[in-house]
Amino acid sequence: MNYVNILNVAVLDNPTAFVNPFQFEITFECTQQLQEDLEWRVVYVGNHEDNAYDQVLEELSVGPVPVGINRFVLQTSVGMYSLTSFNSLNQLFIYLFLQDQMPIIY
């Protein structure tokens, strides 16, 4: 049984320039009281074949989380261009991770 269900992740300010911050409005449901805060992480994946290009853009702790539907906006800085594999610029991904490391891919 899941204690947290992701209901929606809206990408705000989309489309935007490559140098602008990423903004996400995250809506989730908490079905039971949680013992710990939820840990969120935004990882910019610069090359899907080599995690050496991955960049953690933001780490955020949200809590205490009440039971019910919750929403927050997460804004991150952009990644460092020098760590981007320019051979794969058309294949960039963003991952959002929950505390249990369950990925939600955007």
Q: Residue 39 has what pLDDT?
A: 86
Under 8 Å between Cβ of 104 and 96? yes
Report which secondary-structure segment, H or E, holds 96.
strand 93-97
What are the tens digits of pLDDT across the range 21-30? Answer: 889 899 999 9
Q: What is the pLDDT of residue 72?
A: 92
State pLDDT tens for residues 73-88: 999 887 776 666 555 5
Q: What CATH number does domain 4-105 carry, 3.30.479.30, 3.40.50.720, 2.60.40.1490, 1.10.340.70?
A: 2.60.40.1490
> What pLDDT shows up at residue 36?
87
User: How far is the C-alpha of 88 from the C-alpha of 47, rounded, in Å?
Assistant: 6
Tallying the residues shown for the chain, one arrives at 106
What's the number of CA atoms in the CB half-sphere (13 Å) around residue 18?
6
Residue 11 host element (H or E):
strand 4-12
Enumerate residue ranges in the chain where pLDDT < 50: 98-99, 101-106
